[in-house]
Amino acid sequence: MAMAILRRLGQTLFVLVGISVLVFLVFFATPGADPTARIAGRNASPQTVARVRVEYGFDRPLPVQYIRMMEKLFVTRDLTSYVNRGEKVVPEVFQAAPVTVSLVTGAAVIWVLASVAMGTLAAALRGGWVDRGLMMLGLVGISIPVFWLGQVANLLTQSRYHDSWLFSWVPGLGYVPFMQDPLGWFRALVIPWFTLAVLFIGIYSRVLRADLVAVRGEDFMRTARAKGLSPARVLLFHGLRTSMITFVSLFGLDFAQLVGGGALLTEVVFGLQGVGRLTYQALGNLDLPLIMATVMYSAVFVVIANAVVDMLYLLLDPRVRDGRA
Amino acid sequence: MTTALTPSSPSVSARASAGPWRTAARVLVRHRGAMVSLAVLALVTVACLLAPVYADDVAHTDPFTSNVAGTVMLDGRQVDIMQPNDNPLHLGLSPIGPTWRMAAYPLGADSQGRDVAARLLYGGRNSLLIAFSAAALCIMVAACVGIVAGYAGGVVDAVLSRMMDIMWAVPVYLFAISLSIVTVSQGLRIGPFTVASDNLLIPICIIALVYVPYAARPVRGRVMTLRRSEFVTAARGLGVPGHRIVLRDILPNVTGTLVVLAPLMTALALMAESALSFLSIGVQAPAASWGTIIQDGEGLIYTRPMVAVAPGLAIIVVVLALNILGDGMRDALDVRDGDRGRG
């Protein structure tokens, strides 16, 4: 048990270093142009370019540049954006984080509830038209680009049906801090939550249904049925509980990826100033330091979150916990 | 089922001799959804290939140049493409809305007065080209990585798998965005080769690369089971060289996994392409793709929603068809992989 946790920690550390090298290489060693010009931004003055070259050590070998970059990102945290009038990048990322977390958490609640309901219902009515209909619906959900869905949602709630009773409560685009106005926060986020959740409802309900159907043949399910438990009880308390293991580990991955920038498209469409939208704005004016900071911090966040999920998994699964499997 | 127990009957022996591919094809043909999807995909592809015919001979428009001052014949009248808004003061101009007539802006015009229908078809060419090529490239690379890692095992496997783990840990879209943003400004220069920043090879390679870990994982798993199988052990015992085992024994048995991955990877690639293009770091203007048209339509969403709605529907139809086809093929070839649909 302790060994397993230690091994997982070592692995995490390795992946963290690997990721930082990968991101570094993508930004500074992609063949093409001089990274100095990329950092300094469009139409930078020669003085700025010279300063950037010395500051980032572009006149030194790659390993030195790597160390310098990591120091700027994680130790001194004084990475500055030259395009954006010398704005410090790291605090900017942390300021945007609550918006992203609000968006993803709400969407996660919706997609977990909806997909558990849909997946269980489909598995219970396996083979019937309800099952086929729900799974088709899930497939449609997987096939909709989220930025398009967001635009259509905006079209309906902000313009076409905004004057009807249905959507008159929807406020204009933008984020309202929870501390300032909890109700406003909720109303501003409901539509983005549902938009972001659609894809995951599709994926999770299909995964859960497949898992529930697969688990039906297991010995303990047969035993439960043989004991004379009702089909609903067997499905919910014996089947669903087992299927939750896959569900939870998948959830941990996706949640972390979304907080780490996967919600970018949703944030852009709904004008929510989160980490993703920050990255998007940086794309517009080629603000490389900012993009690099968001990518690096998200990747680190995802890796750490995955490690935490894995360790919880170690603690929760009795087969793994007692070293039986 | 009962006929399988009587191998003496001639029809059964004929069926038994049909190879796994023939059997799978037979199952697939009976899968109604998969067949409809194939037809839809063929239809969309042909329509997009006919884009120049539509633009030159039917609509007589150039979908790549701005046409703000142009007019169009509607019911015998010349109508301006950019029309005054219907607010009380007639302030500002909006492009013409959908006319639903084949020859005259059936889906309306975008903010530069270009025919949305023609751009939709041309955009479909780029979107489909990128999606299919990226998926093919990705599966080829993933097959190499997966087979080498799975067959070689040991240090080679450890190194390759850790590399895949690292790539997998970066959120897919962020990875693609990072690669796009460094190549989109100045293009790519590798030794003597220069790739211009508006070359479609760039999005193709980027999308292929970021999905390699996703596709390599099931391949590696399959190869690892195959490596322990009896026929591979037998081949090794006979002294068959490793490369021959890989080509003759492993590869044919992995093909099923690869074929099932193909439509799913194409669907993922199409989604990724449209997202990158929507963020204006995929296909570069004035060329179009379904993603760039949605981006063009963003500013017009309240006045001329059709500009953004039409390419979105096209994406949904194609991705849905690919997903249904993928499901059908998986059932037909009976390949199971545990973790699809992530990322």
Residue pLDDT tens, chain A, 325 long: 677 788 888 888 888 888 888 888 888 877 766 677 777 766 677 777 787 777 777 777 888 888 888 888 888 777 777 766 667 888 888 888 889 999 999 999 999 999 999 999 999 888 889 999 999 999 999 999 999 999 999 988 888 887 887 787 878 788 888 888 888 898 889 999 999 999 999 999 999 998 898 888 888 888 888 888 888 888 888 888 888 877 887 888 888 888 877 789 999 999 998 888 888 888 877 788 888 888 888 888 888 888 887 777 777 666 666 655 4
Answering whether pTM is above 0.80, one says yes
Residues A183 and A253 placed together within one structural domain of the fold? yes
Å between A169 CA and nearest CA of chain B: 18
Query: Distances in Å between the alpha carbon of A262 and those of A277, B83, B152, B329?
Result: 11, 39, 34, 29
E strands along B90-246, which residues?
Answer: 93-95, 188-190, 193-195
Query: Distances in Å between the alpha carbon of A56 and those of A70, A139, A146, A238, A300?
Result: 10, 47, 37, 57, 21
Residues A62 and A100 placed together within one structural domain of the fold? no
> Which residue in the set A14, A27, A299 is minimally distant from B182, CB to CB?
A27
Local structure of A26: helix, strand or coil = helix
CB contact under 8 Å between B189 and A302, yes or no, is no
Query: Distances in Å between the alpha carbon of B230 and those of B74, B154, B221?
Result: 73, 20, 17
**Other CB atoms within 10 A of residue B184 CB:** 22
Q: Which of B285, B272, B246, B252 is nearest to B133 (CA)?
A: B272
As a whole number, mean pLDDT of residues B68-81 equals 74
Domain that holds residue A108: 94-274
Task: For residue B4, name the pLDDT band (cuts at 50, 70, 90).
Answer: very low
Q: Which residues of A touch B298 (CB under 8 A)?
A: 151
> Which residue in the set A30, A143, A155 is minimally distant from B305, CB to CB?
A155
CB contact under 8 Å between B271 and A145, yes or no, is yes
Model confidence at B340: pLDDT above 50: no
Task: For residue B294, name the pLDDT band (cuts at 50, 70, 90).
Answer: very high
Task: For residue B17, name the pLDDT band (cuts at 50, 70, 90).
Answer: low
Residues A165 and A257 placed together within one structural domain of the fold? yes
Å between A183 CA and nearest CA of chain B: 26
Q: Is the previous residue joined to B286 through a cis bond, with omega within 30 degrees of 0?
A: yes
Place of tokens 């596709």: B215
CB contact under 8 Å between B174 and A260, yes or no, is yes
> Which residue in the set A257, A260, A283 is minimally distant from B279, CB to CB?
A283
Residues A158 and A211 placed together within one structural domain of the fold? yes
Instruction: Look up residue A170 and give its DSSP letter.
Output: P
Nearest CA in chain A to B342: A254
Amino acid at B286: P
- Helix, strand, coil tally for chain A in percent (to 5): 75, 0, 20
Euclidean distance between CA atoms B37 and B91, whole angstroms: 46
The pLDDT, as a whole number, for residue A317 is: 67
CB contact under 8 Å between A159 and B302, yes or no, is yes
Check if the beta carbon of residue B216 is closer than 8 Å to that of residue B146.
yes
Q: Which residues of B touch A32 (CB under 8 A)?
A: 182-183, 186-189
- DSSP-assigned states of every residue in B58-121: II---TTS--TT-EEEETTEEEESEEE-SSTT--SEEE------TTS-TT-B-TTS-BHHHHHH
CB contact under 8 Å between A15 and B279, yes or no, is no
Euclidean distance between CA atoms A26 and A20, whole angstroms: 10
Domain boundary (A274, A290, A313) is at A274
Check if the beta carbon of residue B323 is closer than 8 Å to that of residue A142.
yes
A269: in domain: yes
CA gyration radius, chain B: 25
Mean model confidence pLDDT for chain B:
83
Higher per-residue pLDDT: B233 or A287? B233
| Residues 6 or more apart whose Cβ sits within 8 Å of residue A79 | A72, A73, A88, A89, A90, A289, A292, A293
Residues A51 and A113 placed together within one structural domain of the fold? no
Å between B245 CA and nearest CA of chain A: 32
CB contact under 8 Å between B341 and A203, yes or no, is yes
| Residues 6 or more apart whose Cβ sits within 8 Å of residue A65 | A24, A28, A56, A57, A58
Query: Distances in Å between the alpha carbon of B218 and those of A298, B30, B213, B225, B258?
Result: 26, 27, 9, 11, 9
Q: Which residues of A touch B301 (CB under 8 A)?
A: 151, 154-155, 159
CB contact under 8 Å between B294 and A302, yes or no, is no
Euclidean distance between CA atoms A321 and B16, whole angstroms: 47
CB contact under 8 Å between A295 and B166, yes or no, is no
Nearest CA in chain A to B267: A143
Q: What is the ipTM of this complex?
A: 0.87
How many alpha carbons lie under 13 Å from residue A86 in its C-beta half-sphere?
3
Check if the beta carbon of residue B303 is closer than 8 Å to that of residue B12.
no
As a whole number, mean pLDDT of residues B137-164 equals 92
Q: Which residues of B touch A202 (CB under 8 A)?
A: 341
Domains of chain B, by residue range, sit at 27-53+114-335
CATH among 3.40.50.300, 3.30.1240.10, 1.10.3720.10, 3.40.50.11540 for B27-53+114-335: 1.10.3720.10
Euclidean distance between CA atoms B44 and B121, whole angstroms: 9
A310: in domain: no
Query: Distances in Å between the alpha carbon of B19 and those of A237, A259, B8, B15?
Result: 43, 47, 19, 9
Q: Which residues of A touch B274 (CB under 8 A)?
A: 145
Instruction: Look up residue A206 and give its DSSP letter.
Output: H
| Residues 6 or more apart whose Cβ sits within 8 Å of residue A5 | A311, A314
Euclidean distance between CA atoms A227 and A242, whole angstroms: 18
> Which residue in the set B189, B301, B316 is minimally distant from A31, CB to CB?
B189
Calculate helix-pair angle for B290-298, B116-152, nearest 10 degrees. Answer: 130
Higher per-residue pLDDT: A324 or B69? B69
Q: Which residues of A touch B185 (CB under 8 A)?
A: 33, 38, 286
Q: What is the phi-psi region of residue B65: left when phi exceeds 0, alpha when psi lies from -120 to 50, beta otherwise?
A: beta
Q: What residues form DSSP beta bridges with B137?
A: none
> Which residue in the set A23, A145, A299 is minimally distant from B312, CB to CB?
A145
CB contact under 8 Å between B171 and A291, yes or no, is no
Q: Which residues of B touch A264 (CB under 8 A)?
A: 173-174, 177
A203: in domain: yes
Nearest CA in chain A to B165: A15
As a whole number, mean pLDDT of residues B16-43 equals 85
Q: What is the phi-psi region of residue A3: left when phi exceeds 0, alpha when psi lies from -120 to 50, beta otherwise?
A: alpha
Q: Which residues of B touch A280 (CB under 8 A)?
A: 279
Q: What is the CATH number of the domain that holds A138?
A: 1.10.3720.10
| Residues 6 or more apart whose Cβ sits within 8 Å of residue A23 | A292, A295, A296, A299, B170, B178
Look at A306-320, B46-60, B175-189, B290-304 and tell me which has the smallest mean pLDDT. A306-320
CA dihedral defined by B168, B173, B179, B181, rounded to 10 degrees? -160
Share of chain B above pLDDT 70, in %: 89
Euclidean distance between CA atoms A261 and B174, whole angstroms: 7
A283: in domain: no
Place of tokens 């998948």: A250
Euclidean distance between CA atoms A228 and A236, whole angstroms: 15
E strands along A133-176, which residues?
Answer: none
Q: What residues form DSSP beta bridges with B195?
A: B188
Phi and psi dihedrals of B195, rounded to 5? -115, 120
The pLDDT, as a whole number, for residue A146 is: 93
CA gyration radius, chain A: 24
Share of chain B above pLDDT 90, in %: 34
Q: Which of B40, B163, B170 to mutate to test the interface with A (most CBs of A within 10 A)?
A: B170
Is residue A118 exposed (0-12), middle (13-18) or buried (19+ Cβ within 10 Å)? buried
Local structure of B287: helix, strand or coil = coil
The pLDDT, as a whole number, for residue B291 is: 92
Q: Report how far apart the first and last C-alpha atoms of chain A are (Å, whole number).
A: 12
Between chain A and chain B, how many beta carbons pairs sit less than 8 Å apart? 160
The pLDDT, as a whole number, for residue B331 is: 83
Number of domains making up chain A: 2
Q: Which of B41, B166, B202, B293 to mutate to test the interface with A (most CBs of A within 10 A)?
A: B166
Residues A242 and A132 placed together within one structural domain of the fold? yes
Query: Distances in Å between the alpha carbon of A48 and those of A29, A40, A220?
Result: 21, 7, 69
pLDDT digits (tens, 9 = 90+) for B160-202: 988 888 888 888 888 898 888 888 777 777 767 777 877 888 9
Q: Which residues of A touch B172 (CB under 8 A)?
A: 257, 262
Nearest CA in chain A to B170: A299
Residues A14 and A158 placed together within one structural domain of the fold? no
> Which residue in the set A38, A148, A253 is minimally distant from B294, CB to CB?
A148
The pLDDT, as a whole number, for residue A1 is: 67
How many alpha carbons lie under 13 Å from residue B314 in its C-beta half-sphere?
31
CB contact under 8 Å between B170 and A27, yes or no, is no
**Other CB atoms within 10 A of residue A56 CB:** 21
A81: in domain: no
CB contact under 8 Å between B181 and A253, yes or no, is no
